[in-house]
Amino acid sequence: MKVAAAAACVALAIAGASAQTAAPKTVWGEPDISGVWKVPAPVGARANRDTFNLAQLDRLYKPEARKAVSPQDDPSLHCRPSAFPRAAILGGSIQITQAPGMAYVFTEAFPTYRIIPTDGKRRLTPDFLIPYFMGNSAAHWEGDTLVVDVISFSGEGWLASRDDKPTAKSPGVWPTSDQMKVTERWRRVNADTLEYQARVDDPGVLTGPWETPRITLKRQNVDRIEEAICIEKEGASAYLERYGLKN
């Protein structure tokens, strides 16, 4: 009897632990990716360590796409936002909220928002597809993964920072064009972990598709992101340092 009781206690403990760490669902049955999330460590290509697959991206750039671009053109230095996937790794928190058929993504760094239909049907009609910093998104669920197709970019964002240099010959410029298309995959791994991966197709500047590695974001113990406004006359570098953001 004691053995059986002990076994039952162990089983209950395991079940309780699994319940605490399992990826939750919304009340309407979709995977719940809501919360405030943040990369736990810097992601990029610094100090001979490439954690963002930038060596491959470096090789994909058309030479002419970088000729007229300087490291000083990095949007972060001018208080302008960059779209995802770069927005996922800047170091600021990301907040996601959900409603039936919709997801909303807010960034703390260079504050932006995204409104994403998740029913696989809705997208703005062509006459409303004007260029956006963050693009125009439409999504659908594939099992527990939210797959987001993003088009209609302004071409003003960068894919990485001027300080990201996977090789000694890397120029530190990572421009995009208005032809860019991004396919994102968001997946809640467990209660405290969100996984993000993106594929970038941009025939305006790249010779082929680029895919990021899987990026891990950890849940933050807060209810909402903070207001973190970048004022260019104060200096974007001071803004990045003040909020502990990556440039």
Rounded distance between C-alpha atoms, residue 104 and residue 161, angstroms: 25
Q: Looking at the domain assignment, is residue 21 inside a domain?
A: no
Which residue range(s) make up the domain with 117? 29-242
Q: Looking at the domain assignment, is residue 17 inside a domain?
A: no
Q: Looking at the domain assignment, is residue 9 inside a domain?
A: no
Give the burial class of 149: count Cβ atoms within 10 A of its Cβ; 0-12 exposed, 13-18 middle, 19 or more buried.
Answer: middle
Q: Looking at the domain assignment, is residue 4 inside a domain?
A: no
CA 55 to chain centre: 19
Q: Looking at the domain assignment, is residue 15 inside a domain?
A: no
Q: Looking at the domain assignment, is residue 10 inside a domain?
A: no
pLDDT value for 162: 94
Q: Token pair for residue 169?
A: 């010959």
CATH number, domain at 230? 2.40.128.20
Cβ proximity of 133 and 111 under 8 Å? no
Q: Looking at the domain assignment, is residue 67 inside a domain?
A: yes
Structural domains of the chain, count: 1
pLDDT tens string, the chain, 247 residues long: the values are 444 544 444 444 444 444 447 889 999 999 999 999 999 998 999 878 999 999 999 999 999 999 989 999 999 999 898 899 999 999 899 999 999 999 999 999 899 999 999 998 767 677 777 889 999 999 999 999 999 999 999 999 999 999 999 999 999 999 999 999 999 999 999 999 999 999 999 999 999 999 999 999 999 999 999 888 887 777 777 777 766 766 6
pLDDT value for 120: 86
How many angstroms separate the Cα of 152 from the Cα of each of 14, 82, 209?
47, 14, 17
Nearest to 159 by CA among 36, 76, 242: 76
Q: Looking at the domain assignment, is residue 12 inside a domain?
A: no
